[in-house]
Copies of this chain bind each other. A is one copy, B any other.
Amino acid sequence: MLGGTLAAAILPVTSSFAKYIQVGVPADDPTKRIGLGPSKLGTRSPFESPLRKPSDISSRSPLQDFYSTITPADLHFERHHAGIPNIDPKQYELLIHGMVERPMKFSLADLKRFPSVTKTCFIECAGNFRTGKEEMTPQDILGLTSQSEWTGVMLSTIFREVGADSKATWFLAEGGDASVMTRSIPAHKGWEDAMIVYAQNGEAIRPAQGYPARLLLPGYEGNMNVKWLRRLELSDQPWMTREETSKYTYPVKDKIRMFSFEMDARSIITFPSFPQKVERGWIEIRGIAWTGRGKIVKVEVSTDAGKTWNEARLQEPVLDKAHTYFRHLWQWNGDDTEILSRAIDETGYIQPTLRQLVDARGTDMGGYHMNPITSWQIKRNGSVLFKPENFK
């Protein structure tokens, strides 16, 4: 490949890669210098550096850097309860017991022998909403949602293997990390589309997402998709665990909403968004929409602060319980305005405004299951700012 005439320009070296070292050619013309050779692992361009934004308990996905709906595995959001355990897959075991005919333990190799299935869907943290100032990115506002192509075994297959009692109405999922996270899950979800997944975006699941295996409950709030899954127990009642009493429970006016499984329909425009700049003329407004209740059927975009709405194009194929990319072509005349999007799902649910959420749930609503319409202010100078709304 790199024949005679090139050889003279290349330094004599020992490594087979290092022979591509670039010498004596100005940097400004890439056609005049041999580039880097083949490698075992690729890297990003030095001109691109998408990064999660970590806090003490989470890290947020850089949604504004994404052009479609698969989240690169190293940028998947994290929500921590006691950090990421380092689990040896050869030591891994999953116990299934309770209201079953045959309590069993499965190794990772056992799980991989069952018929496998692939499902592309989002996982979103139940507490995925921040507001407060204009200088906020999509990552800051709702970066606790990500999407992967998950592969594993249907939980219904495992239920059949152990002889799950049809009178069992709940099951407990327990994680093998230091928080020993536990959640009660309705048994019907286990029979429907729940999975035990060991792969993410084609390869082995990443440690931060539950290596070597996690529970996947498509559309349900993130914390229930228990990572580092080590135990499932079937029962005829919920457990009232620490995580479902001290957390993931919130006031709705004078009542407490305890089990709120499905994530409501939601959308956000990721381009343009803070801190991007726009120019007068054609702008393709782009973003993601999703719902825990099935498919997105429509996304509407307003470019006049909500006075009128236009139907956005949805990227096909639209998948069940999945981030769905939407696009709307807009000609900006250079005036101040606001752009916003709202998602509509196959149940007919329409993404609400923050005002509607507060009216329905009261001001002391906690931070869970907040899915308000997100507005961006477009300024005459082309700058884009989040529009933080008054909570009270």
Segment among A59-67, A253-261, A289-297, A338-346 that sits at the interface with chain B: A59-67
- Chain B residue numbers with a CB within 8 Å of A151 are 67-68
With A43-B207, A71-B202, A115-B327 already in contact, 9 other A-B pairs whose C-beta atoms are closer than 8 Å: A30-B178, A39-B208, A41-B51, A42-B207, A43-B206, A48-B211, A67-B151, A68-B151, A75-B203
B1 x A57 contact (CB < 8 A): yes
The answer to the question of A177 belonging to the interface, with a C-beta cut-off of 8 Å to chain B, is: yes
Kindly identify which residue among B51, B65, B83, B199 contacts A67, using a CB–CB cutoff of 8 Å.
B199
- Chain B residue numbers with a CB within 8 Å of A315 are 117-118
A67 x B34 contact (CB < 8 A): no
A40 x B59 contact (CB < 8 A): yes
User: What is the chain B residue whose CB lies nearest that of A54?
Assistant: B38
Kindly identify which residue among B38, B56, B204 contacts A59, using a CB–CB cutoff of 8 Å.
B38
Whole-angstrom CA separation of A56 from B20 in the bound complex: 10
Whole-angstrom CA separation of A207 from B43 in the bound complex: 8
Segment among A84-92, A303-311, A361-369, A381-389 that sits at the interface with chain B: A84-92
Whole-angstrom CA separation of A283 from B115 in the bound complex: 9
The answer to the question of A166 belonging to the interface, with a C-beta cut-off of 8 Å to chain B, is: no
* Most chain B CB inside 10 Å of its own CB: which residue of A2, A38, A40, A325: A38
Whole-angstrom CA separation of A75 from B39 in the bound complex: 9
User: What is the chain B residue whose CB lies nearest that of A1?
Assistant: B57
Whole-angstrom CA separation of A319 from B315 in the bound complex: 13
Considering only residues 294-334 of chain A, those with a C-beta below 8 Å from chain B are: 315, 317, 319, 325, 327, 329
Known interface pairs A1-B80, A67-B118, A118-B315; A178-B33 also in contact (CB < 8 Å) = yes
Whole-angstrom CA separation of A17 from B40 in the bound complex: 29
Known interface pairs A35-B82, A91-B28; A283-B113 also in contact (CB < 8 Å) = yes
B178 x A38 contact (CB < 8 A): no
